[in-house]
Amino acid sequence: MKHSKSLVLAGAVAAASLFSGLTQAQAQGSSQSSLQSSSPSAAGLPTAQCARTDQAQIAALFDRWNNSLATLNPDKVVANYAADGVLLPTVSNQPRTNSAEIRDYFVHFLEKKPQGKIDRRVIKLGCNVAQDLGTYTFTFKDGSKVSARYTYVYEFVNGQWLIAHHHSSAMPEKQPS
């Protein structure tokens, strides 16, 4: 019994050390450097390798996505999403939880020839995850516009940043003319 309590305590200390190291690195914005913690590997846990990134690189991911919209090819848009990515779209009530459903949404959305523009954003960086959130406005081929709130959660997968979660919702309050 005493031995198993020691193992549980050692595991808890190693997990707390890993979490503490990740939290401190995120708070200090050290996503510019790789993060390795020696105590988790000493306890038999894997070490985290954090991809180098910065706010400009994450901001450019919206441009990549927006440029894929301009191709009017839904497959090019879907290529920005992780295989298990989730889309909660602006102009559909249906959550899209796989590549086929995300593609189906964009087949119809691209018929409107949308182009987005960021109005305001906040970017948060973490270890192999980044968030881009704020407001954007879409202009369509008929000249109409839709302002919306957005959240992109990106994850670093197989050497590239992909959208793990994308939520977009129209502004609830009427915009001033």
Structure confidence at residue 172 (pLDDT): 87
Place 89 in a pLDDT band, splitting at 50, 70 and 90.
Answer: very high
Q: Reduced to 3 states, what is the DSSP secondary structure of residue 108?
A: helix
Structure confidence at residue 119 (pLDDT): 98
Residues 111, 143, single domain; the answer is yes
Structure confidence at residue 91 (pLDDT): 85
Residues 76, 138, single domain; the answer is yes
Q: Which of 11-20, 110-119, 165-174 has the highest mean pLDDT?
A: 110-119
Q: Which residue has the higher pLDDT, 133 or 31?
A: 133
What confidence tens digit (pLDDT) does each residue in 36-84 have?
333 344 445 455 699 999 999 999 999 999 999 999 999 999 999 999 9
Residues 99, 132, single domain; the answer is yes
Q: From CA 100, how far away is CA 97, in angstroms rounded? A: 8
Residues 122, 59, single domain; the answer is yes
Neighbour order of strands in the sheet with 160-170: 81-88, 160-170, 145-157, 129-139, 115-125
Nearest to 111 by CA among 74, 137, 143: 74
Structure confidence at residue 98 (pLDDT): 97
Residues 38, 112, single domain; the answer is no
* CATH, residue 61: 3.10.450.50
Range of the domain at 35: 2-42
Q: Under 8 Å CB-to-CB from 50, ≥6 apart: which residues? A: 25, 31, 33, 34, 35, 127, 128
Give me the number of domains the chain comprises.
Answer: 2
Place 173 in a pLDDT band, splitting at 50, 70 and 90.
Answer: confident
Q: Is the pLDDT of residue 17 over 70?
A: no
Q: What is the pTM of this model?
A: 0.73
What confidence tens digit (pLDDT) does each residue in 112-134 have?
999 999 999 999 999 999 999 99
Residues 27, 82, single domain; the answer is no
Residues 11, 82, single domain; the answer is no
In a domain, 103, yes or no: yes
In a domain, 47, yes or no: no
Q: Is the pLDDT of residue 15 over 50?
A: no
